Amino acid sequence: MSNTFTIPTPEDFSFRRSVGSHGWYDLMPFEYDEKRGRLTYSYFSSVSRCAEAITITRRSGSLTVNTSSATIDRPEARAVVRHILRLDEDLKEFYESVSSHDGFDWIRRISAGRLLRSGTVWEDLVKTLCTTNCSWSLTKSMTRNLVEKLGRAAADGRKAFPTAEAIAATSAEFFRDEIRAGYRSPYFIELANSVASGDLDPESWLCSDLPTPELRKEIKKVKGVGDYAADNLLKLLGRYDGLALDSWLRASFYKRHNREKACDDKKIERHYRKFGKWKGLAMWCDMTKEWFGEIE
DNA sequence: GCGTCCAGGTCTACC
DNA sequence: GGTAGACCTGGACGC
């Protein structure tokens, strides 16, 4: 048995562009039916201590949420939807910044810039580790294995991302053999142990008072997290000072702005410096401009 | 079929 | 602080 409720959305919110803002929609436990405009997400409820699955569709001015169980905790489900689609994030300042620069005014026009994220910082951190030094297909494979082999099932059978406790209960050998995480395996175990024991609380980074450079240093203390991974996670925390440069982003910049020739990162940094604390988001939008067609 | 390269990088040792 | 080499995996590519 399931139930349904609605959530109003901000005026400058685009469901399709938020979901498709980057590759997260393609990683379990997200499932995206683009034709039907339907996003499904499963999460582990801290209220019911069970996995819950929600399906989100867009209606004019609001989102409709269908749940996998009738007893789901609605306030928590609402909070999860607001969090993953960043309904409470105020991008007014960002839109004002990009609107004053030629070639970037489309961002406000199509309401781009809200980056899809997972229900917890823990989940985003692990997924970000899964993106390092590998192809996208391997990232998908590792996250699929994590969910299928360690996640708890909701009423409809869909599985949530595993908790730190579930991962801490495994071993580096399990990660090598079953998750196919290779040399990253001990990093996952160390991180899970640290979160499960309470020594590390990634969720606290969401409302940290630390200036971004210091928070970045904190995040980089996690083994396996370097410059790219830290900046990527910071973007998901709502801090866009860093560019989160990886091989795809660099190649995209060379193609668009440097006559397809490689250059050092300082040149890329200079190109987006004018956007100040929004430069990471401005660059991401710039590099993914063609993803949504019909812009010009 | 086989070998090589490299991808949404990071760590460690060394200078 | 900067750099070289090692590190898992799996898909793409050339032969």
Bigger pLDDT: A131 vs A263:
A131
Chain A residues 133-162, Cβ below 7 A from strand C: 133-135, 137-138, 141
Rounded to 5 degrees, what are φ and ψ at A152? -90, 145
pLDDT at A51: 97
Model confidence, pTM? 0.96
From the CA of A97 to the C1' of B7: give the distance in Å.
33
Q: What's the residue count for chain A? A: 296
CB-based contact A230:A216 (threshold 8 Å): yes
Please give the nucleotide, over all strands, whose C1' is closest to the CA of residue A222: B10
Q: Tell if A176 CB is < 7 Å from nucleic strand C.
A: yes
Peptide bond into A186 cis (omega under 30): no
pLDDT at A260: 83
Q: What is the CA radius of gyration of chain A?
A: 19
User: In this model, does residue A262 exceed pLDDT 90?
Assistant: no
Model pLDDT for residues A164-180, shown as the tens digit of each residue = 999 999 999 999 999 99
CB-based contact A185:A175 (threshold 8 Å): yes
From the CA of A160 to the C1' of B6: give the distance in Å.
32
pLDDT at A294: 55
CB-based contact A195:A164 (threshold 8 Å): yes
Listed in sequence order, the DSSP H helices in chain A are: 15-19, 74-84, 92-99, 106-109, 121-130, 136-150, 164-168, 172-174, 185-196, 212-219, 227-236, 247-257, 265-272, 279-287
Could you say which nucleotides of strand B lie within 7 A of any protein CB atom? Answer: 6-12
Model pLDDT for residues A191-244, shown as the tens digit of each residue = 999 999 999 999 999 999 999 999 999 999 999 999 999 999 999 999 999 999
User: In this model, does residue A1 exceed pLDDT 70?
Assistant: no
Q: How high is the mean pLDDT of chain A?
A: 94
From the CA of A183 to the C1' of C6: give the distance in Å.
11
Rounded to 5 degrees, what are φ and ψ at A51? -85, 140
Q: Which candidate, A264, A206, A263, places its Cα nearest to that of A233?
A: A206
What is the DSSP track for A62-103? EEEEEES-TT--HHHHHHHHHHHTTTT---HHHHHHHHTSTT
From the CA of A282 to the C1' of B5: give the distance in Å.
32
Tell me A118's DSSP state.
-
Model pLDDT for residues A101-122, shown as the tens digit of each residue = 999 999 999 999 999 999 999 9
